[in-house]
């Protein structure tokens, strides 16, 4: 009886191993059908770079499949239309197999996808076994997910070293050729544009084609737009900075939007959304905002589980009692002087996304 059970178990194990071998063989065949595979990694800007580069390559005649996993997880089809990534549970790197299947099914000659991983071991698996890119783009190495990666730039660079496939070409947003340093755009970070231009030039795409592709790009909800909202003859500016997530990215965004605002210097108010599953990020914000010489905000409204902790450390904070976008917006407009600039900060998922959608609906003007 025991012998028969062992035989059954061994047969089951052998069959399972055979299925894994066949699946890996099929996955490799699909990869081989895609002549150009590009991955985009880094702390911030991955989604923007994927969308910009996909639009540029389409403009250059490539048949492109792209995938984003940031503010809105989407497949970008070869005709430029988008399709939502449907998940039954939490995000998982195994879903990269599906985008490979789609790219092969659509007979694409290029695939561009974000690296999804947070943990170092997953970065290696995703890059070296699932995607095997020809080109890897790394946007920046701002500190984030500190509980996993570590607190310093060096820790983040060590994390992204796992995205370097031997033999693949690497491009970084901070190491573009000197002739690309003057690139700028009102709606895009310079480092993202430099990375797109650098990659496209490597692929022998002409500058006028790159520029045209960038102009045609459809960005997602995380784009840092500025909404002017007026009530009772008082106007305030609400800035979608939720996708910036970390203090370093937010500082860069503040510098960028100053040129687009009528008040100089603008009076800044923060609306900080804290996620209960991002405790390390909340600590990061607390440490930054608790330093008087760094904190650029006259007042900060807090929402989320960790709000009371930050309130004890940062005197100019007020904890919001409601998560309703209309109630929050009305409160801020009532308490703020005219032309105050309100930056939505911290996290875009959940309340952050709801705030953006509300501002989009009631704004009479977008800068």
Query: Reading across the β-sheet that carries 365-366, which strands appear in turn?
Result: 317-319, 299-303, 268-273, 341-345, 234-240, 226-231, 365-366
Residue 126's alpha-carbon distances to 123, 148, 204, in angstroms, are 5, 17, 28
CATH 3.90.190.20 maps onto the chain at: 226-366
Given a cut of 70, whether residue 150 has pLDDT beyond it is: no
**Averaged pLDDT, 156-178:** 81
The per-residue pLDDT for 257 is: 83
CATH 3.40.1190.10 maps onto the chain at: 31-215
- Tell me the pLDDT band of 11, cut-offs 50, 70 and 90: low
Give the contacts of 261 (CB within 8 A, at least 6 positions apart). Answer: 226, 237, 341, 367
Q: Which 8-state DSSP code applies to residue 185? A: B
In CATH terms, the fold of domain 31-215 is: 3.40.1190
Residues belonging to the chain: 367
**Averaged pLDDT, 172-186:** 62
* Long-range contacts (CB closer than 8 Å, 24 or more residues apart) made by 197-203: 198/171, 199/38, 199/53, 199/135, 199/137, 199/171, 200/53, 200/56, 200/57, 200/60, 202/135, 202/169, 202/171, 203/36, 203/57, 203/60
Domain 226-366 has CATH 3.90.190.20: yes
The per-residue pLDDT for 16 is: 57
Q: Which 8-state DSSP code applies to residue 113? A: E
The per-residue pLDDT for 350 is: 83
**Averaged pLDDT, 266-293:** 88
Global confidence as pTM: 0.86
Given a cut of 60, whether residue 280 has pLDDT beyond it is: yes
Q: Range with the lowest mean pLDDT among 35-39, 125-129, 143-147, 338-342? A: 143-147
Task: Kindly write down the DSSP assignment for every residue of 233-299, as one continuous string.
Answer: TEEEEEEE-GGG-SHHHHHHHHHHHGGGSSSSSPPEEEEEE--TT-HHHHHHHHHHHT-TTT---SE
- Tell me the pLDDT band of 13, cut-offs 50, 70 and 90: low
Q: What is the largest CA-CA distance in the chain?
A: 86
Q: Range with the lowest mean pLDDT among 77-81, 134-138, 360-364? A: 360-364
Distance CA(174)–CA(273), nearest Å, equals 29
Query: Reading across the β-sheet that carries 74-76, which strands appear in turn?
Result: 82-84, 74-76, 64-68, 110-114, 36-41, 135-138, 169-172
């Amino acid at each position: 009886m025991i012998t028969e059970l062992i035989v059954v178990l061994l047969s089951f194990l052998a069959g399972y191993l055979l299925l894994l071998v066949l699946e890996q063989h099929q996955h490799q065949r699909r990869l081989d059908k895609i002549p150009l595979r590009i991955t985009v990694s880094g702390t911030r800007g991955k989604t923007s770079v994927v969308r910009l580069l996909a639009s540029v390559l389409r403009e250059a005649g490539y048949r492109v499949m792209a995938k984003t996993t940031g503010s809105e997880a989407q497949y970008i089809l070869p005709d430029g239309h988008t399709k939502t990534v449907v998940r039954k549970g939490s995000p998982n790197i195994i879903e990269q197999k599906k985008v490979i299947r789609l790219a092969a099914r659509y007979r694409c000659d290029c695939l561009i996808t974000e690296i999804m991983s947070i943990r170092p071991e997953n970065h290696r698996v995703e890059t070296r076994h699932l995607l095997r890119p020809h080109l890897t783009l790394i946007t920046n190495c701002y500190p984030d997910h500190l509980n996993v990666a570590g607190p310093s730039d060096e820790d983040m660079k060590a994390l992204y070293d796992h995205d370097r496939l031997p033999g693949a070409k690497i491009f970084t947003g901070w190491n573009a050729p000197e002739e690309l340093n003057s690139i700028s755009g009102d709606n895009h970070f310079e480092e993202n544009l430099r990375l797109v231009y650098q990659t496209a030039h490597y692929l022998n795409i002409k500058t006028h084609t790159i520029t045209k592709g960038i102009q045609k790009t459809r960005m997602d909800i995380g784009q840092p737009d500025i909404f002017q909202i007026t009530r009772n003859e008082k106007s305030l500016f609400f800035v979608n900075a939720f996708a910036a997530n970390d203090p370093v990215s937010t500082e860069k965004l503040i510098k960028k939007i100053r040129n687009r605002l009528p008040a100089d210097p603008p009076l800044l108010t923060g609306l900080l959304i804290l996620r209960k599953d991002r405790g390390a990020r909340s600590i990061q914000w607390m440490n930054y905002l608790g330093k008087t010489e760094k904190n650029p905000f006259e007042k900060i409204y807090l929402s989320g589980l960790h709000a009371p902790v930050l309130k004890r450390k940062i005197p100019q904070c007020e904890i919001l009692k409601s998560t309703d976008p209309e109630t929050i917006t009305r409160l801020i407009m009532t308490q703020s002087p005219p032309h105050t600039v309100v930056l939505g900060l911290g996290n875009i998922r959940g309340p952050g996304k709801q705030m953006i959608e509300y501002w989009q609906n009631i704004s009479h003007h977008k800068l």
